[in-house]
Structure 1
Amino acid sequence: MAQVLEFKLPDLGEGLTEAEIVRWLVRVGDVVAIDQPVVEVETAKAMVEVPCPYGGVVTARYGEEGTELPVGAPLLTVAVGEPAAAPEGSGNVLVGYGTSEAPTRRRRVRPAPLRSVNGADTGTPSASAPPPAPTVTAPARGTPLPDQGPVPVISPLVRRLAREGGVDLRRLAGSGPDGLILRVDVEQALKGGTGQGTAEPATVTPAPAPATSGTGAEGVRIPLKGVRGAVADKLSRSRREIPDATCWVDADATELMRARTAMNAAGGPKISLLALLARVCTAALARFPELNSFVDTEAREIVRLDRVHLGFAAQTERGLVVPVVRDAHARGAESLTAEFARLTEAARTGTLTPGELTGGTFTLNNYGVFGVDGSTPIINHPEAAMLGVGRIVPKPWVHEGELAVRQVVQLSLTFDHRVCDGGTAGGFLRYVADCVEQPAVLLRTL
């Protein structure tokens, strides 16, 4: 006899307590293997796939796409063939690790019509393991649903469409097989008509009117959750806790650009400008270690760090993220270029792990990619400083006593005034500018 096991949203690490379901990778009735990813979720750190530690047949899913679940809430139930064989996986379902068993070849089975409309597909999470999914007898085509029990809907997208449009699915008769509610049924209800084969007009419940301002203007409400919510919380905390100050300087980057061109012309992997700037940062932090630190507010201590984990701001479709290059101080220009490229691609695809988004000690912010010259960024809490780099553009510049057109960049340093005074911050920024203007200065630290 098959045993039904419940798989709960695992501890995702890094102190994360909840995640939003982005996309289900399996359906009720599918056969899954140990370690097979079953759902894609978005946390406050990244978007990741969650593997299942059991192998068997999916009997129920909990939560629609877009639903936010706390750690420990049920995700799905799996019917395994042999009870003794079920727990063979390691159970280590932390994101990015999986379990100990090698996954077998995936295969998908066509779910039976009645099983595909099982209400457990989008049921409410339960604190205890549920029994095997019961068979639901779908209503005949053209018959509105009863007030209790599951609602047979073809997909979570249809549910979302109905919810946003204020359509009461229980008053809507589906035109699909066995009364399954299709997208066309909801769309026709939104237009004021009825679904195909409906016995009575669909009832549309008006959505509650949004809150209005004193001027009577209506707006769109966007939930602060996921990556956007995490960024908002972190930036707000930074503004509350860190007494920051900013200093800036213009620098002639002509020689730095020439040095990069010469490096890339010599053959081998291409060196990015960001990698050269990162190398300048680590050299400056070696001279001014006060800025590679954080403040322990409870202990009232400044914690000075001996390793540089360099964060860099990356704008993605999901919002601003700050991937971290581990041990940047021990890397050369080629290694930094490769790591920046890898982390940037992972940021764009939403596959950064929580570990790649935390633990930074200093941040490099290249806002010049947005075509702006300067900025006063908010420090990435709990770090003590951030170096900003504007766009590099031709400008009139006095060079060797004569006016010339040079490649000029504005550099800014925002720092925590608790860890150092303006003299240290100014010394750091001046050293960075000197390295930009005369790359040979870096030879002292190679």
Structure 2
Amino acid sequence: MAQVLEFKLPDLGEGLTEAEIVRWLVAVGDVVAIDQPVVEVETAKAMVEVPCPYGGVVTARFGEEGTELPVGAPLLTVAVGAVESAGAAAALGSAGLSASGGESSGESSGNVLVGYGTGAPAARRRRIRPAAPGAELGNGARPAGRAEAQAPTRAPVPVPAAVPAAAPPPGPEASGPVPVISPLVRRLAREHDLDLRQLSGSGPDGLILRADVEYAVRAAGTTDVPDTAAVAATAAAVGGGRGERVPLRGVRGAVADKLSRSRREIPDATCWVDADATELMAARASMNAAGGPKISLLALLARICTAALARHPELNSTVDMEAREIVRLHEVHLGFAAQTERGLVVPVVRDAHSRSAESLAAEFGRLTDAAREGKLTPADLTGGTFTLNNYGVFGVDGSTPIINHPEAAMLGVGRIVPKPWVHRGELAVRQVVQLSLTFDHRVCDGGTAGGFLRFVADCVEHPAVLLRSL
């Protein structure tokens, strides 16, 4: 007996309440295995694949690509028990077939969080086309309005007509699509009874942006039902204006929100110092020449950073203004800024304080590869306590970065370049780097911040200083 189960968009992690469907990985009629990824979604933090905890036949999908869904919204339904074996598919009985959105008696892994599953390789999915009118089901029932596929090596598997496909949401676009930038625009138009066909979008090829609808409503002087002529006139004015509107959404939108909050809430200050990195570069070259995994410069700087935080724990903290307390953290979860095609992300190296330079280099490499491929999980992007920002890769010497809220400080590292430097009383060409520390002035004063930065600079100039903390 088959049972149709509803799989809902699971909890996506810390502070994430919605996700946008980027790409469906299965279609209605496909056979899916337990924990097989069924849809790729984009949250404010990462692009992730969502595994389905049920195995069976997909009977319906909810939401088109580009649709934004809240956590708990239905994603798809799966007919559990519709497939009897991997080699042959059994017919679904119409008698006793029921839909359920709650607990299931069917086979399930119970793994519903994004990025989590059994780890077993997903079975190769196959497409099952519905049966033609008049085709017999396994128990003699006849579905209506279905067509059956002729597979050369597999027996056809009919899908019950009792499970309908998801219908498009009602709205002003019901009689034909109107090009909009996101589903939020359609919802906003419905809330204000706006006919999208009366608006001229300011986006490429007349694409209607959220700003177009909001501007039209404001210009009409009401938040209820605006005059259609006024809306059309204001929207046309927006569309005829100069410049290009780029929506703040996804990773870019999350970065904008976080940086704005940081700038509003954190009274930050920055100090900086130039350091001679010649000996650090020579030490790294010696390490890598000795064989074994290569040690990156970022890993050495991270090791120096954790040693400095052990001496100045005030900078590995957060501020609880409601309790009016500074919370000093025992573990160092080190974030590092990584630029990707989708924008700036900050992956986090867990327990950086207990890692060697070799372990740090390996973890930096793993997280950087995952960031470039868009495969970072929400767990990889949350929980940082201090950030290391190597902006020198962009060819700049210095910067005054914005602190990654709710952290208390960020160490910035500029490019390392040959410069004139007084070395042992004589002018010489040395490898010089500028280091900057941006810190929350609520957690410490300039003396503590200066002491931290001076220790980092001393370790860069004389790597042997680190031996004291090993």
TM range (shorter): 0.7 to 0.9
Structure 2, unaligned runs of 5 or more: 83-96, 99-103, 133-144, 148-160, 182-204, 206-231
Moved over 4 A (4+): 82-86, 112-116, 147-151, 208-211
Which residue number in structure 2 is paired with residue 62 of structure 1?
Answer: 62
TM-fit CA distance, 1:220: 2.7
2:71 corresponds to which residue? 71
Contact 1:212–1:219, Cα closer than 8 Å, also in 2: no
On the 8 A contact 1:12/1:94 being kept in 2, the answer is yes
Query: 1:392-443 CA deviation, whole Å, 9 max, x = no partner?
Result: 0011111111111111100000000000000110111111111111111111
What corresponds to 2:184 in structure 1? none
Give the superposed CA RMSD. Answer: 2.9
Among 150, 154, 179, the residue aligned to 1:163: 179
CA contact (8 A) 2:335 2:349 kept: yes
Partner AA of 1:87 in structure 2: G
1-structure distance, mates of 2:10, 2:311: 43
Q: What is residue 270 of structure 1 aligned with on the other side? A: 294
Hey, what's the Cα distance between the residues in 1 that align with 2:396 and 2:362? Answer: 26
Match for 2:440: what amino acid?
D
Partner of residue 344, structure 1: 368
Residues in 2 aligned to 1:337 and 1:58: alpha-carbon distance in whole angstroms: 43
Structure 1 residue 374 displacement after superposition: 0.5
Aligned to 1:356, the other structure's residue is in SS state helix
Q: CA deviation at 1:164?
A: 5.8
- Residue 325 of structure 1, aligned match among 349, 356, 379: 349
Q: 1:284 aligns with which of 303, 308, 312?
A: 308
Paired residue type of 2:78: V
For the residues of structure 2 that align with 1:41 and 1:279, how far apart are their CA atoms? Answer: 35
Alpha carbons of 1:150 and 1:6: their partners in 2 closer, same or farther (altered >3 Å)?
Answer: farther
Measured against aligned partners, the alpha-carbon deviations of 1:293-344 in whole angstroms (never above 9, x if no partner) come to 1101110000011111111000111111111111111111100000000011
**Corresponding residue to 1:132 among 141, 163, 173:** 163
Q: C-alpha distance in 2, partners of 1:81/1:149? A: 36
* Residue 92 (structure 2) pairs with residue 87 (structure 1): no
Other structure's SS at 2:286 match: helix
**2:409 maps to which of 370, 385, 400:** 385
- Tell me the equivalent position of 1:107: 125
Q: 1:148 to 1:115 in 2, by over 3 A?
A: farther
**1:19 partnered with 2:35:** no
Which of 269, 278, 283 aligns to 1:245? It is 269
Supply the distance in 2 between the matched residues of 1:377 and 1:408 (Cα, whole angstroms).
20
CA contact (8 A) 1:29 1:111 kept: yes
Distance 1:61 1:223 in 2: 27
Q: Choose which of 236, 242, 248 in structure 2 pairs with 1:218.
A: 242
> 1:294–1:303: 8 Å Cα contact kept in structure 2?
yes
Distance 2:265 2:166 in 1: 56
1:397 equivalenced with 2:416 (yes/no): no
Q: Cα offset for 1:234?
A: 0.8
The answer on whether the counterparts of 2:404 and 2:410 sit within 8 Å (CA) in structure 1 is: yes
Distance in 1 separating the partners of 2:32 and 2:389: 43
Flag the 1:406–1:88 CA change in 2: closer, same or farther, 3 A. same
Show the 5 A alignment for 1:163-202: 163=179
In the alignment, which residue of structure 2 is the partner of 1:96? Answer: 115
User: Which stretch has the larger CA shift, 300-309 or 46-55?
Assistant: 46-55
Q: Secondary structure in 2 aligned to 1:20? A: strand
Does the 8 A contact of 1:28 with 1:115 survive in 2? no
Counterpart mapping for 1:418-429 below 5 A = 418-429=442-453
Cα deviation 1:60-107 (Å, max 9, x = unaligned): 21111111100011111222336798632133210122369x676233
Aligned CA distance change for structure 1 residues 321 and 292 (closer, same or farther; 3 Å): same
How far did 1:284 drift? 0.6
C-alpha displacement of 1:15: 2.6
1:154 alignment partner in structure 2: none
The answer as to whether partners of 1:243 and 1:416 remain within 8 angstroms in 2 is yes
Q: 1:292 to 1:134 in 2, by over 3 A?
A: closer
Change in CA separation of 1:418 and 1:52 when aligned onto 2, cut-off 3 Å: same
| In structure 2, C-alpha distance between the alignment counterparts of 1:396 and 1:111, rounded to whole Å | 73
**Residue deviations 1:356-401 (CA, integer Å, cap 9, x gap):** 1111111000000001111000000010000000000011111111
Q: Which residue number corresponds to residue 36 of structure 1?
A: 36
Q: Secondary structure of the equivalent of 1:212? A: helix
TM-superposed deviation, 1:230: 1.3
Percent identity over paired residues: 81
How far apart, CA to CA, are the structure 2 residues paired with 1:247 and 1:134?
A: 60
- 1:279 is paired with a residue whose SS is helix
Cα deviation digits, residues 22-42 of structure 1 (max 9, x gap): 111011221112211100011
User: May I ask how many residue pairs the two structures share in their alignment?
Assistant: 372
Per the alignment, residue 383 of structure 2 pairs with 359
Q: Give me the whole-angstrom Cα distance separating, in 1, the residues matched to 2:116 and 2:166.
A: 35
Amino acid of the structure 1 residue aligned with 2:367 = L
Q: Cα–Cα, structure 1 residues 210 and 50, in superposed 2: closer, same or farther, change >3 Å?
A: farther
State the secondary structure of the residue aligned to 1:299: coil
Normalised to the residue count of structure 2, the TM-score between the two structures is 0.73
- 3-state SS, counterpart of residue 238 of structure 2: coil
Contact 2:274 2:433 in 1 (8 A): yes
1:271 partner SS: coil
